[in-house]
A and B are shown apart, each in its own frame.
Chain A
Amino acid sequence: MVDGAAAIARGALDAGCNFYAGYPITPASGILAHMLRELPKVGGIGFQGEDEISSIGHCIGAASAGATVFTATSGPGLSLYSENIGLAIMMEIPLVIAISQRLGPSTGAATASAQGDIQFMRWCTSGGYPVIVLAPTNIPESYHLTKRAFKLAKRFRNPVFIATDKDTVMTTESVPVDEMINAPDWPEIPTEPVGKPLDPYQINGTIHHYTGSSHTEEGYITKDPDIIAQFNERLKNKIESHIDEISLVKADLQEGADTLIISYGVSARSMEAVVIQLRSQGEKVSALTVYSLWPIPEKKIQDCLRGIKRIIIPEMNHGQYRHEIERLVNRDIELIGVNRVDTILITPEEIMETYHG
């Protein structure tokens, strides 16, 4: 019996995280409590900042000195992380951030799940540079995707989000022990960094400068348009040219199906329940769970479209991912959203009704 907060914290610790700073917010506080209790036991540091800005600032500072860092918050806290996420992108700091989504806007409903921050995570800072976002649907995936997030952050020297929600983080569930221990058969993330490895501040180490201003590869401020262009293109391309490697989905396709259901996070569980039910009634239906929400796994999504006339997309927002999928598919495929923003998880019955039209 375990909840998502414990699974995420355990995943971070097993990934070698040795520094955590965060500020309490429902429904992410469980992760903070676990990390602050566990880290000193293993010689790491856990710190409760005076606010989210300070917390992420501490993480970025510690990472520049060689720490493997982690923080977690919810939508309101992500607003305060915003500027520093840009700094981490610019300094190329590996930084894992779990967002336990609650219902917005504003304070909204603190103890209710939502998936309303999917676009916010992607576009959370100025400049529009890419980040990686992974979304677990259950507790074992929360553990394994957290570990994966650390590998991606290190490899790409970039912020990586774990997009989760109140229900995944705060619901206690029975989970088979072997699903926690055995890694799913996901392709490995190579360990060597894309570009230069991070060189932390060290006594007797190479002297270097980290800066949030446009800079040369050596860390000195520059106004040279050619150098700036090259640098910024590299920030974009280091992620976008590796989409295939980052892309992670679970495609459960059925020969002859003309309906595909696409979902992610907690809503994907309702999708799974519906698929089992439909197939037991002799219906043919395909399903796609998207784990790597950003960058969008375009190819993997397009690979699922053969024979598909209709796509149903359940998500707890007003259609934030549906609009992304709209760009990727032919106009003759019908797109239907199943959307809820009222604190209640999307039910299998609602998806079923949509399926039957």
Chain B
Amino acid sequence: MVEPVPDTYITEENLPYEFCPGCSHGKVLGALSESLKQQELDPSEVVIVTDIGCVGLSDKYFITHAFHGLHGRAITYASGIKMQNPDLNVVVLIGDGGCGIGGHHLLNAARVNTDVTVLVFNNFNFGMTGGQQSVTTPLASITATSSIGSIDAPMDIAGTAKVNGGGFIARATAFDKDLPGMITKAMNHNGFSLIDIWELCTAYFVPKNDFGRKEMMDYMGTLNMSSGILQETDRPSFQTSYNHIQEQTKSQKPMSGLVLETKFSSELDKPLRIVLAGAAGQKVISAGNLLASAATLSGLWTSRRADFPITIQTGFSVAEIVISPEPVLYSGIVKPDIAALMAPEGKAKITRLMNAMEETDTIYYAKGLGDVDSKAKQLPLNFPDSTIKDVRKNIAVLTAGYLTRQLNMFPFEALKEAVRQIQKPKIAEINLGVLSHFE
């Protein structure tokens, strides 16, 4: 609240308005000023966010804070301002053109119920750019871009905001006596509010279509779309809902990296590049994480890349792990030292890598996946007999265990410790059970 309440919220020194004679825009600005006066708001409590177009010239006429951004995006800035400082009253002034190009923002702000007030200066065409048709141009209207009559159905802006859940939705005209009162109601609503204000563009739409005040009122009548409140709900605003999220998460621990202290040692004297090639659902990446973590716990340097199709639950799943006594600089793998094949999808995916492998490299393969076209040695993944029941579900962790036993990279204990440190207790228990077959 402010004392004394200003007589008007319009900067007298910038008057008269730049709008054409008879343009409705000035009338709506007057109504907004009147509403701010009714609310006795301090000018510093209000941010007026204007879109582009003739309506976008409005920011300079106000003694309040103002923001003049890009065409169609005014609601996004307003929402950001309100999110950051909920004590501010944020009002968007936007044209029918802005509601067209930025329609996506309009309906989403209604859904999100962000606590801003949107005043639509709906004059059925683009004023500023020369009277082209807009999303609200009535059927068969003449505009600069519909010379023998527009053929597209007009958009109902208020109706769109309504069905998308906006808290307070109304329709009005620039000539409504109670427009200031309606604006006050909208601004006082806690949540998204919008008034679709129908008005006249005297430079273009009025003369081209013989569309004056009376014709506009008749048009409203024929469409059965008269002035009034269309929707008023007490759905919580974004601000209210988000406060709950902040409250609920306040006591949670902040994120931290996974710290693995060196507990074991390794005799590895050169980098080892391992590729685990399987299928989605086999937990290949997680087995890669176990190997990398076990190596880290053993004082080695590691990197773990993952490769999978965007639809992660189907197709191949490949983990590339580099384990090295020196820092890993190049984390890619063009020629693995070791490849482990767990599924046909993975095998097919790494054909190129296996082609590059040499006699000194080794491919381990699960049942049925042998016989690869590669110079590398090829050995079966000879899991202990006792694991038969586990192979189908836990092949990746079995492979991690098997490779750890075969390759002498780090102690088997390190792998078990990695399971304990990085996996959720329930999964860790299963995996430790699986790994016990190797002891």
Write the residues of chain A forming the contact surface with B, with a CB cutoff of 8 angstroms.
1-2, 6-7, 9-10, 13, 19, 21, 26, 34, 37-38, 40-43, 45, 47, 49-51, 53-54, 57-67, 83-84, 87, 110-111, 167, 170-175, 177, 180, 200-205, 207-213, 219-221, 269-270, 272-273, 276, 344-345, 347-349
- B41-49, B143-151, B195-203, B228-236: which lies at the interface: B41-49
B42 and A204 form a contact (CB under 8 A): yes
A201 and B254 form a contact (CB under 8 A): no
Given A40-B242, A58-B76, A347 contacting B303 (CB threshold 8 A): no
B67 contact from A1, A171, A177, A209, Cβ within 8 A:
A209
Q: Does B258 contact A (CB under 8 A)?
A: yes
| Residues on the B chain within 8 Å of A270, using CB | 329-330
Using a Cβ cutoff of 8 Å, how many contacts connect chains A and B? 212
Nearest CB of A to B239, in Å = 10
B293 and A50 form a contact (CB under 8 A): no
Nearest CB of A to B327, in Å = 9
A167 and B332 form a contact (CB under 8 A): yes
Given A43-B246, A212-B68, A57 contacting B77 (CB threshold 8 A): yes
| Residues on the A chain within 8 Å of B42, using CB | 203-204
Nearest CB of A to B263, in Å = 14
| Residues on the A chain within 8 Å of B292, using CB | 1, 172, 174
B305 contact from A47, A61, A171, Cβ within 8 A:
A171
Taken together as a complex, chains A and B put the C-alpha atoms of A327 and B353 apart, in Å, by 39
A60 and B85 form a contact (CB under 8 A): no
B254 and A41 form a contact (CB under 8 A): yes
Q: List 30 A-B contacts (CB under 8 A).
A: A1-B289, A1-B296, A37-B255, A41-B249, A41-B250, A41-B252, A50-B105, A57-B73, A57-B105, A61-B76, A62-B83, A64-B80, A65-B88, A87-B70, A171-B306, A171-B331, A172-B289, A172-B304, A173-B302, A173-B304, A174-B300, A174-B301, A174-B302, A174-B303, A203-B88, A207-B43, A208-B65, A212-B69, A270-B329, A345-B330
A84 and B70 form a contact (CB under 8 A): yes
| Residues on the B chain within 8 Å of A205, using CB | 44
Q: Does B79 contact A (CB under 8 A)?
A: yes
A348 and B70 form a contact (CB under 8 A): no
| Residues on the A chain within 8 Å of B338, using CB | none
B105 and A65 form a contact (CB under 8 A): no
CB closest residue in chain A, given B57: A221
**Residues in B261-277 with C-beta less than 8 Å from chain A:** none
A171 and B84 form a contact (CB under 8 A): no
| Residues on the B chain within 8 Å of A58, using CB | 76-77, 79-80, 83
B80 and A21 form a contact (CB under 8 A): yes
| Residues on the B chain within 8 Å of A210, using CB | 66-68
Chain A to chain B: the 10 pairs with minimum beta-carbon distance, closest first: A61-B80, A57-B76, A61-B77, A58-B80, A62-B80, A345-B332, A65-B84, A211-B68, A273-B329, A50-B108
Taken together as a complex, chains A and B put the C-alpha atoms of A167 and B77 apart, in Å, by 33
| Residues on the A chain within 8 Å of B259, using CB | 177
Taken together as a complex, chains A and B put the C-alpha atoms of A205 and B24 apart, in Å, by 32
B interface residues, tally (CB under 8 Å): 66
Q: Does B87 contact A (CB under 8 A)?
A: yes
| Residues on the A chain within 8 Å of B80, using CB | 19, 21, 57-65, 67
| Residues on the B chain within 8 Å of A219, using CB | 66
A2 and B331 form a contact (CB under 8 A): no
Q: Does B223 contact A (CB under 8 A)?
A: no
Binary per-residue interface labels of chain B (20-53) against chain A in the complex, 1 for a CB within 8 Å, 0 otherwise: 0000000000000000000000111101010000
Nearest CB of B to A288, in Å = 16
CB closest residue in chain B, given A58: B80
CB closest residue in chain B, given A50: B108
Given A167-B305, A171-B305, A201 contacting B88 (CB threshold 8 A): yes
Taken together as a complex, chains A and B put the C-alpha atoms of A174 and B303 apart, in Å, by 6
Given A41-B254, A65-B80, A270-B329, A53 contacting B73 (CB threshold 8 A): yes
Nearest CB of B to A20, in Å = 11
A167 contact from B87, B257, B331, Cβ within 8 A:
B331
B332 and A9 form a contact (CB under 8 A): no
A62 contact from B44, B84, B245, Cβ within 8 A:
B84
Q: Does B225 contact A (CB under 8 A)?
A: no
CB closest residue in chain A, given B296: A174
CB closest residue in chain A, given B319: A172
**Residues in B124-170 with C-beta less than 8 Å from chain A:** none
Q: Does B308 contact A (CB under 8 A)?
A: yes
Taken together as a complex, chains A and B put the C-alpha atoms of A67 and B292 apart, in Å, by 39
Taken together as a complex, chains A and B put the C-alpha atoms of A220 and B49 apart, in Å, by 14
CB closest residue in chain B, given A221: B60
Nearest CB of A to B164, in Å = 11
Binary per-residue interface labels of chain B (321-332) against chain A in the complex, 1 for a CB within 8 Å, 0 otherwise: 000000011111
Nearest CB of B to A342, in Å = 11
Q: Does B220 contact A (CB under 8 A)?
A: no
Nearest CB of A to B339, in Å = 17
Taken together as a complex, chains A and B put the C-alpha atoms of A213 and B332 apart, in Å, by 47
Taken together as a complex, chains A and B put the C-alpha atoms of A345 and B80 apart, in Å, by 39
A111 and B307 form a contact (CB under 8 A): yes
| Residues on the A chain within 8 Å of B65, using CB | 201, 207-209
| Residues on the A chain within 8 Å of B81, using CB | 61-62, 64-65, 201
Given A1-B296, A53-B73, A65-B88, A45 contacting B83 (CB threshold 8 A): yes
